[in-house]
Structure 1
Amino acid sequence: MTMSTPEERPGEAFTEAAAEAVRTSVMAFRLVMAIADAVRRQQQKKAGRENELLDAEKASAETSEEVKRFLPDDIATALLEGADWPQLAQQLMALKAAGVDLEAMLPRVGEITVTVRDQVAANAEKVKRAGTEEWAKALRETLPAGPVREAILSSPAWPEMARTMATLNDRGVDVRAILASAYEEGVGVDQAVGKVLAAAEVPTTSRDATLSYGPLTVGLDIPKDLDLGDRERALRQLAIESENPKFVRMVREAMPGAEREADLLVSARHWPLVAARMADMESKGQPVAEHLARLSKDPSWQEGPQSQMGRRLVQAAVDALRKPVGAPAGPGPRVSTAAARSTSPSVGPTKAAKGAAPSTPGVAAHREAGPAPKSGKTR
């Protein structure tokens, strides 16, 4: 048997540590998928409409390209080569069939797996066991009461989820941070499935329209039933479906050497609102490209947790677009949503008819005080 030299062993240790980091990130992916699937099943079970899973082979064929597209190569390869990939593919297809937008969800889950991979790699020499944890207690302390926490604890897969949490914790991963991120995905799944099940009900102001009210949408008209969970529909609702590829290209051109970050921005959930602002600025003859150039001149969005990069990029893009050309580079002032709501001349999110000014003051959502435009389509 050939013995490795001292020079070879450190390289082997590094390779093994990197492989361990990828394996752990795959475990995190499985955990998030298990939580999302538990929420889907709970919603559909309550409605008596739980769907049968798609054939494993067909599900694998239909989802493998999406996984390769939205996840890092090393993590995607490990997932697709795993023995349980057919079951994961079935879960993904079940979520898609239930109304979840995988093109929006997978990049966010990808951010979680990258964070886990990097945490394990950085803590490879500090791995230690912390003993038995009360993961149900940790779950209740981390997540608010509601359908997501209920779905996790009542799921038949809960014991396996708890074992996974313990293993991730042993490997130096911040499990509570994963749970907090996975909770947002669970809420999204709950809403997406509930939306499909309640499609026949009379629509009310959507959660996306309500939560987006403020700096993201000031000066814009947004529909009352805005649906950011469905990228294609959101672009249609904002009347920018055909213009979106151009705006994506403009962002990438404004961020040379930061292709991955540019992709995070244009794949972020709130990207349609950023694109809508770009379209609104173009219609007013404003230099959109000059505004976007600030993303490279002021890279303060790089500061902070990697898992929140997409959100910071959205905020930075909105700040860059709203700040007048010629203003000093630097992070713009943060506007409180509550303050914006209290001082806005609008009374709530609505969608104005094309070419028509509001008949009474304060009915066009997110429109700043001033004369109505004489021409141009309403966004």
Structure 2
Amino acid sequence: MMGTPVPEERASEAFTDAAAEAAQTATMAFRLMMAIADAVRRQQLKKAGKEEQLPDAEKSAVEASAEIKKFLPDDIATALLEGADWPQLAQQLMALKSAGVDLEAMLPRVGEITVDVRDQVAANAEKVKREGTEEWEKALRETLSAGPVREAILSSPAWPEMARDMAAINDRGVDVRALLAAAHEEGVGVDQAVAKVLAAGEAATTSRDAMLSYGPLTNGLDIPKDLDLEDRARALRQQLSVGPGENRRYMRMVREALPGAERDVDALVTSRQWPLIAARMAHMEDKGQPVAEHLARLSKDTSWQEGPASQVGRRLVQAANDALRKPVGAPVEPRESRARVDTSAARSTSPSVDPTKAAAKGTSAATASPGVAAHREAGSAPKSGKTR
């Protein structure tokens, strides 16, 4: 019969368990960063029309093992090499190397981050309440700027697993937002390296949706040149970084701003341009602006109700965008003034008019309508590829 462990033995076991937990958490952080880097690589391949071809698993395991042992601490390297998913992780590493990523530059930086994670866990054993996937979507949008890295993460089939890893790492006392910010920098590097190898730097063709949306609807937003509003789910989540939970919340906010106008609100949220309204709400929340207070203008200025019922959705899109862009408390313009401004704006930004055709008519219309801002002129859209 075994005797009761002495206090020194119990302390030693506790220390060993804590160290093992810290190392395992560090490996989870490493896997998360590699998953993000691999998601960016896959996104670049997809954009370039290239097929995914993973390197040989056995050969990758040997080559990647040497890289891991060279740049990571022994405890973290051992935990990675002994993990059940090591063959897949090794393939990811070698695929990144084949795609043009310099592992000898990347792995030391990632190693430093994983060491920080390990040390945070060792210093803080207190657990925090686990948050759900939608909370991590919000954390991702708040931490990472819109761009290829955030798009790649949210569109990756591995996103649910990434979110679970974030929650688990957070439970162990790690600052996940700081980890994501560091991973973002590596993701940008991967994006640039893979893009260079694939020669993906050629100018992309501006989509019709991007061209027709250029102007007040997209001013100040980060809109991709290949914006496709036909595929609403993809436009919201992948191209505009608005998660399903956020989208439902924004719809609810509009309904609360217009009680009793359910049919009109339905026309707004089912309109083709709704994703752009949702993206503006997300952009405002990122900046700490009171979205609900802006939407309250819709019930005070009801000029959007005037006109054919079949076009109420389009009018509400414009009214909602105006309400979100104008300062809270700004006075409502007299109806006569609004009519003049809306008429000229409609002529210059109507979705039924091709911007290139509008430009071909000359400058007389712009001269006659001093209220139209320069950034809404049709000729400026193709220069930058994204609206600002």
Output the TM-score relative to the length of structure 2: 0.50
In the alignment, the residues of structure 2 paired with residue 200 and residue 70 of structure 1 have an alpha-carbon distance, to the nearest angstrom, of 31
CA contact (8 A) 2:64 2:90 kept: yes
Report the counterpart of residue 196 of structure 1 in structure 2: 197
Secondary structure at the aligned position of 1:82 is classed as: coil
The AA in structure 2 aligned to 1:162 is A
CA-CA distance at 1:56 after TM superposition:
1.0
CA-CA distance at 1:141 after TM superposition:
0.3
User: For each residue in 1:307-349, what CA deviation from the matched residue of structure 2 results, as whole angstroms up to 9, or x when unmatched?
Assistant: xxxxxxxxxxxxxxxxxxxxxxxxxxxxxxxxxxxxxxxxxxx
CA contact (8 A) 2:195 2:201 kept: no
User: For each residue in 1:234-281, what CA deviation from the matched residue of structure 2 results, as whole angstroms up to 9, or x when unmatched?
Assistant: xxxxxxxxxxxxxxxxxxxxxxxxxxxxxxxxxxxxxxxxxxxxxxxx
Report the counterpart of residue 71 of structure 1 in structure 2: 72
User: For each residue in 1:159-214, what CA deviation from the matched residue of structure 2 results, as whole angstroms up to 9, or x when unmatched?
Assistant: 00000000000010110011000000100000001001118979xxxxxxxxxxxx
Report the counterpart of residue 129 of structure 1 in structure 2: 129
Secondary structure at the aligned position of 1:7 is classed as: helix
Report the counterpart of residue 42 of structure 1 in structure 2: 43
Asked if residue 146 in structure 1 is aligned to residue 143 in structure 2, the reply is no
CA contact (8 A) 1:59 1:90 kept: yes
Report the counterpart of residue 297 of structure 1 in structure 2: none
Aligned residues: 201
Report the counterpart of residue 8 of structure 2 in structure 1: 7
In the alignment, the residues of structure 2 paired with residue 153 and residue 96 of structure 1 have an alpha-carbon distance, to the nearest angstrom, of 23
**Where is the helix percentage greater, Structure 1 or Structure 2?**
2
CA contact (8 A) 1:41 1:50 kept: no
The AA in structure 1 aligned to 2:98 is A
Secondary structure at the aligned position of 1:135 is classed as: helix
Report the counterpart of residue 107 of structure 1 in structure 2: 108
In the alignment, the residues of structure 1 paired with residue 64 and residue 57 of structure 2 have an alpha-carbon distance, to the nearest angstrom, of 11
In the alignment, the residues of structure 1 paired with residue 54 and residue 29 of structure 2 have an alpha-carbon distance, to the nearest angstrom, of 22
Q: Percent identity?
A: 78
The gaps in structure 1 that reach 5 residues or longer are 203-379
Matches within 5 A, 1:1-379: 1-2=1-2, 3-124=4-125, 126-132=126-132, 134-198=135-199
Is the alpha carbon distance of 1:199 and 1:161 closer, same or farther for their aligned partners in structure 2, counting shifts above 3 Å? closer
In the alignment, the residues of structure 1 paired with residue 7 and residue 201 of structure 2 have an alpha-carbon distance, to the nearest angstrom, of 69
Secondary structure at the aligned position of 2:7 is classed as: coil
Report the counterpart of residue 238 of structure 1 in structure 2: none
In the alignment, the residues of structure 2 paired with residue 200 and residue 188 of structure 1 have an alpha-carbon distance, to the nearest angstrom, of 14
In the alignment, the residues of structure 2 paired with residue 107 and residue 60 of structure 1 have an alpha-carbon distance, to the nearest angstrom, of 19
Output the TM-score relative to the length of structure 1: 0.51
Is the alpha carbon distance of 1:171 and 1:100 closer, same or farther for their aligned partners in structure 2, counting shifts above 3 Å? same
In the alignment, the residues of structure 2 paired with residue 200 and residue 140 of structure 1 have an alpha-carbon distance, to the nearest angstrom, of 25
User: For each residue in 1:278-301, what CA deviation from the matched residue of structure 2 results, as whole angstroms up to 9, or x when unmatched?
Assistant: xxxxxxxxxxxxxxxxxxxxxxxx
In the alignment, the residues of structure 2 paired with residue 76 and residue 90 of structure 1 have an alpha-carbon distance, to the nearest angstrom, of 16
CA contact (8 A) 2:170 2:176 kept: yes
- Cα RMSD (Å): 1.7
In the alignment, the residues of structure 1 paired with residue 12 and residue 183 of structure 2 have an alpha-carbon distance, to the nearest angstrom, of 34
CA-CA distance at 1:51 after TM superposition:
3.2
CA contact (8 A) 1:56 1:87 kept: yes
The AA in structure 2 aligned to 1:153 is L
CA contact (8 A) 1:51 1:94 kept: no
Secondary structure at the aligned position of 2:17 is classed as: helix
In the alignment, the residues of structure 2 paired with residue 116 and residue 93 of structure 1 have an alpha-carbon distance, to the nearest angstrom, of 24
Is the alpha carbon distance of 1:171 and 1:57 closer, same or farther for their aligned partners in structure 2, counting shifts above 3 Å? same
The AA in structure 2 aligned to 1:102 is L
Is the alpha carbon distance of 1:200 and 1:142 closer, same or farther for their aligned partners in structure 2, counting shifts above 3 Å? closer
The AA in structure 2 aligned to 1:194 is A
In the alignment, the residues of structure 1 paired with residue 193 and residue 201 of structure 2 have an alpha-carbon distance, to the nearest angstrom, of 14
Is the alpha carbon distance of 1:72 and 1:121 closer, same or farther for their aligned partners in structure 2, counting shifts above 3 Å? same
Secondary structure at the aligned position of 2:60 is classed as: helix
Greater CA radius of gyration, 1 or 2? 2
The gaps in structure 2 that reach 5 residues or longer are 204-388
CA-CA distance at 1:81 after TM superposition:
1.1
In the alignment, the residues of structure 2 paired with residue 50 and residue 175 of structure 1 have an alpha-carbon distance, to the nearest angstrom, of 33
In the alignment, the residues of structure 1 paired with residue 155 and residue 129 of structure 2 have an alpha-carbon distance, to the nearest angstrom, of 27
